[in-house]
């Protein structure tokens, strides 16, 4: 029987400026490397997901057919699996891709969209979770549902706050089992976003705008952004999740200041993602850390 793995101590000096600087550094790393992100995601948001990755400076490829997904996950820099519109063929492709990613060490993100009462995606998400995603990302009800801590909501919108999933997230990242088989970090979306990871502690990102919830794909695209950051943050899933969340929500917040509603927000958001500077990140980031959070 396994016993709980020891949890590395969270950094004690992780004050706001440090995380903002790390985020800015990782953003530049994404742009420098232009990681190729393999996306298996729902048909509703494929377009916006690809555009967000391209605006960020990454590359995107939606390879979701059987016999292509596995080989592609071996050469991609990161993989995103999102459980929306889980038709039979992309479901099989997702399992093939995850097995390949785990085999060769491609970092991968699981986004359990609308998991809870919907049976097909819930079963799929739990099977994939068992393979140990680098980052599990969703809203609180999705994260609770996939972790078995709640039946989840009945739709794609969370009815609980990000912090409601904190205990379950802490339990997930400190669960027994080898590190390759458990989730390395959990990122929870909400008015204040939450990231939990051993070594990172509990990090909260207070940037963002309500407009991200008035467009489809605001959260799903963040899953792809997290994947892009995992490609430049090997071995530190928590940092990838924090930086991705901050970049995504800061760009959104800046776009919201000049948009006239959810329609004009979308192109302005992509423009801001493309033009976001390290200085913007450092100036705008509202990141707080709770060092003792991940003590199981």
Residue of the chain from 152, 201, 217, 238 that contacts a second copy (CB under 8 A)? 217
Interface with a second copy: number of residues (CB under 8 A): 63
* Closest to 161 measured CA to CA, from 122, 201, 196, 188: 188
SS3 string of 224-239?
HHHHHHHCCCCCCHHH
Instruction: Based on the shown chain and the rule CB under 8 A, indicate whether residue 159 belongs to the binding site for a second copy.
Output: no
Interface with a second copy by CB under 8 A: which range of 5-13, 67-75, 242-250, 283-291? 67-75
Instruction: Based on the shown chain and the rule CB under 8 A, indicate whether residue 160 belongs to the binding site for a second copy.
Output: no
Interface with a second copy by CB under 8 A: which range of 24-32, 55-63, 143-151, 227-235? 55-63
Closer residue to a second copy, CB minimum distance, 121 or 166? 121
Instruction: Based on the shown chain and the rule CB under 8 A, indicate whether residue 46 belongs to the binding site for a second copy.
Output: yes
Residues 98-157 that bind a second copy (CB under 8 A): 114, 117-121, 154-157
**Distances in whole angstroms, Cα of residue 55 to Cα of each of 59, 87, 291:** 9, 28, 33
Contact present, 64 and 98 (Cβ < 8 Å)? no
Residue linked to tokens 């048909």: 43
Interface with a second copy by CB under 8 A: which range of 17-25, 83-91, 128-136, 223-231? 83-91
Contact present, 212 and 218 (Cβ < 8 Å)? yes
**Distances in whole angstroms, Cα of residue 230 to Cα of each of 77, 119, 201:** 9, 29, 17
Residue of the chain from 64, 96, 111, 236 that contacts a second copy (CB under 8 A)? 64
Q: Classify each residue of 113-152 as buried b or exposed e, where b means 16 or more C-beta atoms within 10 Å of its C-beta.
A: bbbbebeebbebbeebbebbbbbbbbbbbbbbbbbebbeb
Residue of the chain from 88, 178, 257, 279 that contacts a second copy (CB under 8 A)? 88
Q: Coil, strand, or helix at residue 81?
A: strand
Interface with a second copy by CB under 8 A: which range of 4-12, 140-148, 179-187, 207-215? 207-215
Closer residue to a second copy, CB minimum distance, 66 or 192? 66
Closer residue to a second copy, CB minimum distance, 217 or 238? 217
User: Site residues (CB under 8 A) for a second copy?
Assistant: 36, 42-48, 50-51, 54-55, 59-68, 71-72, 75, 84-89, 114, 117-121, 154-157, 213-217, 259-275
């Amino acid at each position: 029987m396994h016993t709980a793995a020891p949890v590395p101590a969270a950094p004690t000096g992780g004050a706001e400026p440090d995380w903002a600087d790390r985020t800015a550094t990782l953003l530049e790393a994404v742009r420098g490397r232009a990681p190729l992100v393999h996306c298996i995601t729902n048909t509703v948001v494929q377009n916006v997901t690809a555009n967000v990755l391209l605006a960020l400076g990454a590359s995107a490829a939606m390879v979701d057919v059987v016999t292509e997904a596995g080989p592609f996950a071996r050469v991609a820099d990161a993989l995103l699996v999102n459980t929306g519109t889980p038709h039979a063929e992309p479901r099989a492709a997702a399992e093939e891709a995850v097995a390949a990613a785990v085999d060769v060490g491609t970092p991968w993100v699981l986004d359990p969209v609308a998991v809870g009462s919907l049976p097909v995606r819930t079963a799929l998400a739990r099977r994939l979770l068992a393979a140990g995603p680098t980052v599990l990302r969703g809203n609180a009800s999705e994260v609770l549902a996939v972790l078995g801590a709640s039946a989840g909501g009945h739709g794609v919108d969370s009815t609980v706050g990000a912090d409601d999933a904190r205990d379950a997230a802490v339990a997930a990242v400190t669960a027994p089992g080898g590190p390759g088989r458990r989730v390395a970090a959990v990122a929870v979306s909400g008015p204040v976003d939450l990231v939990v990871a051993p070594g990172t502690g509990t990090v909260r990102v207070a940037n963002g705008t309500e407009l991200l919830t008035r467009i489809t794909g605001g959260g799903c695209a963040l899953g792809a952004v997290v994947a892009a950051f995992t490609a430049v943050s090997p071995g530190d899933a928590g940092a990838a999740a924090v930086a991705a969340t901050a970049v995504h929500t800061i760009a959104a917040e800046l776009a919201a200041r000049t948009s006239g509603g959810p329609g004009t927000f979308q192109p302005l958001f992509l423009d801001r993602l493309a033009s976001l500077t390290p200085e913007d990140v450092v100036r705008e980031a509202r990141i707080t850390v709770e060092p003792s959070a991940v003590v199981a």
